[in-house]
Amino acid sequence: MADVIVVGGGPAGISAAIYLQRFKRDVLVLMKDQGALGKADSIENYYGIVEAVSGAELIARGVAQAERLGVKVRKEEVLAIEAGDGFSVKTAAGVYTAKAVLLATGMSRTNLKVRRYNDFVGRGISFCAVCDGFLYRQKKIGIVGNGEFMLEELDVLRNFSKDLTVFTNGEKLVHTPENVKIVADPLVEILGTDRLSGIATSTSQYPLDVLFVAIGTASASDFAIRIGALMDNNKIVVDADFMTNIEGLFAAGDCIGGLAQVAKAVADGAQAGITIHKHLKSIKS
């Protein structure tokens, strides 16, 4: 079991990992890609940057710095996190365990851009199979997404109903799941009056009792909701030590809100690294 798993290799996650490693903590960073910073062509407002650098270059430098200090960095997408005796963190490659987890996955999820989506959030549109799947036993369940995260959610939903339809919304599936209907047309509108009653694609209409949204990659808020961490307006609520209401589960960077800048993410990560180290000392004694 590692001391800490950091989910996210952006400025918040890497900064925390550097502090933790220098406290001689056993730390593993799992990162899917380059996150928000990778989309920035040019960064010139961060301390010490004389000549502007690309976000991709800044990430490469941060990861190289962490690895030089001994941090283990793996390029893996985290699919699920469970809390129990410590935490287990599932990726496509396997399951890792740790005494504490830092969520540093940047801005939250991609929402579905279809007509009347906002009218039905919480009224037939759900974001958590573990939380809400049980409510839809033997019902008509739809799920929208096309990646590993969708497949993970789909596996949970199989426990509750056999009437399952995957809507890829025009995207290509990473793997084709068995024993489900698959609709590849782009989604156009959510149907219903008080609650969702179905979905319209560009060519047809599909009656549904619920639509689970699992687009792209699971974000910090997806993990937080499943574990029962408090959220405020899609941001994870943390205390002054960057700990959520779940003992040992921390969050830092864009996923907790505030100034969405590299400087703030790095500062969050540094502070979280220090408080996680203190937390680990306290649970040892």
User: By the criterion CB under 6 A, which residues form the site for ligand FAD?
Assistant: 7-13, 30-33, 35-37, 39-40, 43, 45-46, 77-78, 104-106, 217-219, 253-254, 260-263, 265
**Judged by CB, which is closer to ligand FAD: 80, or 190?**
80
Please tell me the number of Cα atoms within 13 Å of 225 on its side-chain side.
Answer: 19
- Cβ of residue 205: shortest distance to ligand FAD, in angstroms? 32
Beta carbons within 8 Å of 8's beta carbon, 6+ residues apart: 29, 30, 31, 35, 102, 103, 104, 105, 106, 220, 253, 255
Q: What's the alpha-carbon Rg for the chain, to the nearest Å?
A: 20
- Cβ of residue 239: shortest distance to ligand FAD, in angstroms? 18
Whole-number Å distance between alpha carbons of 269 and 12: 4
- Cβ of residue 214: shortest distance to ligand FAD, in angstroms? 12
Strand partners, 73: 29
Whole-number Å distance between alpha carbons of 179 and 164: 8
**Judged by CB, which is closer to ligand FAD: 38, or 177?**
38
Largest CA distance in the chain: 62
**Judged by CB, which is closer to ligand FAD: 86, or 253?**
253
**Judged by CB, which is closer to ligand FAD: 218, or 238?**
218
Whole-number Å distance between alpha carbons of 200 and 115: 10
Beta carbons within 8 Å of 219's beta carbon, 6+ residues apart: 105, 106, 107, 108, 109, 255
**Judged by CB, which is closer to ligand FAD: 33, or 239?**
33
Between the alpha carbon of residue 39 and those of residues 34, 36, 43, 55, 59, the distances in Å are 8, 6, 11, 7, 11
DSSP annotation of 135 reads G
**Judged by CB, which is closer to ligand FAD: 45, or 204?**
45
- Cβ of residue 280: shortest distance to ligand FAD, in angstroms? 21
- Cβ of residue 125: shortest distance to ligand FAD, in angstroms? 21
**Judged by CB, which is closer to ligand FAD: 178, or 232?**
232
- Cβ of residue 228: shortest distance to ligand FAD, in angstroms? 18
- Cβ of residue 191: shortest distance to ligand FAD, in angstroms? 31
**Judged by CB, which is closer to ligand FAD: 131, or 260?**
260
- Cβ of residue 203: shortest distance to ligand FAD, in angstroms? 32
Q: What is the secondary structure of 60-77 as a DSSP string?
A: HHHHHHHHHHT-EEE---
Query: Position of tokens 């290509």?
Result: 172
